[in-house]
A and B are shown apart, each in its own frame.
Chain A
Amino acid sequence: MIDPDGELVRNAGAGDQRAAEALVRRHLPKMVGVARRMLNDGAEAEDVAQEVFLRVWREAPRWQPGQAKFETWMHRVALNLCYDRLRRRREKTDPDAGLAVADSRPLASEEWLARQRAAKVHEALAKLPDRQRAAIALVHFDELSNIAAAEILEISVEALESLLARGRRALKAALAGVAQDLLGGAEGGAP
């Protein structure tokens, strides 16, 4: 298996700044994105992304191409850091902490509707069990293949499909009528 990041990782590990920059360019948006979807908090997501790269720099000098691709390993690190934060968050605070709250301020109706729908979706995603949310983040939002997502989550493709299906079913239930409600609300309240 040829790892598309193999050479960059080796060079970055040897102190090549250009290779390090290329790795950051290639992977930082994905790491921030998956962490944001898991944590629903921008600042925390950036902290996670930074921590992922600290581990990348630490591992790069001794990275050996093996069973997992480097990107898979990075995703696993990011998700594990997110799981840790979510666990600590649950221990410390109420379960709704960190959820996006639908904005009640009136805005131009199209923008307002879009924001409200996005907030509802984020809220519904945040309430999913962590593994289901991770599966949907990887497959729907990051558009990774089923095989890549299953590798990251260290489960079989069948188990991934089960997580996805349960997650989508829960989202569908949570978001039932969202579009219609918001349209009705917009007619009555939003300018």
Chain B
Amino acid sequence: MTRKEEAMNRERFAELLAAYGADFRRWPAETRADAATFAAQDAEASALIAEARELDSLLDEARSMPTPSADLAERILASAPRMQRPSFDRRAVLALAACAVFGVVIGYSGGLLAPPAVAEDDGYFSMAFEAPTAFEDEG
């Protein structure tokens, strides 16, 4: 007989039965095997167990519970923390928008500042077809 089995005597068995009832699954894990062994060997154990089982059965009559309201879980979840949109997303959108605006502005202002292409071409044409007056003077 081990020390653990020695520790399970009628007094301790009755204490555990009084606290946890007749179902050994509710007993402290370390006592279950010893309790089963003791119950199988002790002449009075079965009467004690039957007495405890009577109360267990009555308690089990009150085990079932009405189903909670259908919307209770929804109400609870509605108050749960929400994922915040990552801030880089908004920055990226803003940056893209800024780029687009900047591009439009640059494009527009570049068009205004650049010299008119037609006037420049006209100048080259006039230089090309102008009479070479300087050569005439030298000669």
Contact = CB atoms under 8 A, between A and B. Distances in A.
Interface of A: 12-17, 20-21, 24-25, 28-29, 32-33, 36, 42, 46, 49-50, 53-54, 57, 60-61, 114, 117-118, 121-122, 125, 136, 139-141, 143, 145-147, 157, 160-162, 164-165, 168-169, 171-172, 175, 178-179
B80 interface: yes
Contacts of B29: 145
B10 interface: no
Interface string B20-60: 11000111110000000000000000000000100110110
Contacts of A60: 81
Contacts, number: 112
Contacts of A46: 68-69, 72
Contacts of B75: 50
B68 to A, nearest CB: 5
B21 to A, nearest CB: 7
Contacts of B18: 164-165, 168-169
Contacts of B84: 15
A160 B18 CA distance: 12
Interface string B61-79: 1111110110011011101
A117 to B, nearest CB: 4
B26 A139 contact: yes
Contacts of A122: 62
Contact of B72 (A16, A17, A50): A50
Nearest to A53: B76
Contacts of A178: 58
Contact of B20 (A61, A162, A164): A164
B92 interface: no
Contacts of A16: 83
A21 B69 CA distance: 16
B19 A161 contact: yes
A24 B77 contact: yes
Interface of B, helix, strand, loop or mixed by DSSP: helix
A146 B80 contact: no
Given A17-B83, A146-B28, A121 B76 contact: no
B82 interface: yes
Contacts of B68: 28-29, 32, 42, 46, 49
B77 A165 contact: no
23 contacts: A20-B80, A20-B81, A24-B73, A24-B76, A29-B68, A32-B65, A32-B68, A46-B68, A49-B72, A50-B79, A53-B79, A57-B80, A60-B81, A118-B61, A140-B21, A145-B28, A146-B27, A161-B20, A164-B19, A165-B18, A171-B55, A171-B58, A172-B55
A28 B72 contact: yes
Contacts of A161: 15-16, 19-20
Contacts of A42: 66, 68
Contacts of B19: 160-162, 164-165, 168
